[in-house]
């Protein structure tokens, strides 16, 4: 990886590992400089060249969160690469700076986690089926921490994505 990309990734990861107000301002500045929010509709922000994302206002169960996103013509957020993940983390920093768990758009089907948007198995960073060894059936991300399987009946915050 190029040194600048590695530096940016490390900065973004480190910014989610602290709770101080000073760090919160640093997080926002890093996001503004490297992954700025670009509007693409009312309350929606550009995720990549073809998708936009929006943070939901309330925590919901996995099924209710997916239904909320479907009602907005989308799905729970999924990542095609590292930049998508960082862009979503920056949305959370810029809108609320919260560090609570969020649903990922992935659910176990037939013993294997699948992306809710129909893209197939949960693959990220070249790793296939990161969570298949987990007992729980829905995927969540702890900001600044690992992805993990979680009970689908738990309530979590979430981000929707839709194709523009």
CA 156, CA 164: separation in Å to the nearest integer? 25
The domain containing residue 103 runs over which residues?
3-163
Residue 31 tokens read as 């996001």
Structural domains in the chain (count): 1
pTM over 0.85: no
Task: Please report where in the chains the tokens 């523009």 appear, as a residue.
Answer: 164
Q: What is the mean pLDDT of each run of 10 residues along the chain (164 residues)?
A: 38 46 76 92 92 95 97 93 88 78 90 85 69 82 80 96 93
Neighbours of 103 (CB within 10 A): 31
Neighbours of 125 (CB within 10 A): 9
Give Cα 53 to chain centroid, integer Å.
9
| CATH number of the domain bearing residue 72 | 3.10.100.10
Residue 67 tokens read as 């239904």
Q: Which residues are bridge partners to 45 per DSSP?
A: 39, 53
């Amino acid at each position: 990886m190029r040194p600048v990309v590695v530096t940016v990734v490390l900065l973004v990861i480190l910014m989610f590992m602290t709770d101080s107000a000073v760090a919160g301002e640093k997080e926002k500045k890093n996001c503004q400089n490297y992954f700025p929010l670009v509007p693409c509709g009312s309350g929606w922000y550009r995720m990549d060249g073809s998708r936009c994302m929006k943070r939901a206002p309330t925590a919901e169960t996995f099924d209710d969160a997916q239904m909320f996103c479907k009602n907005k013509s989308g799905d729970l957020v999924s990542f095609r690469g590292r930049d998508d993940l960082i862009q979503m983390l920056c949305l959370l920093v810029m809108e609320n700076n919260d560090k609570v768990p969020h649903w990922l758009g992935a659910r176990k089907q037939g013993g294997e986690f699948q992306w809710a948007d129909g893209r197939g198995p949960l693959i990220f960073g070249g790793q296939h089926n990161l969570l298949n060894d987990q007992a729980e059936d829905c995927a969540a991300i702890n900001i600044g921490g690992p992805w993990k399987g979680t009970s689908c009946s738990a309530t979590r915050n979430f981000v929707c994505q839709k194709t523009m």
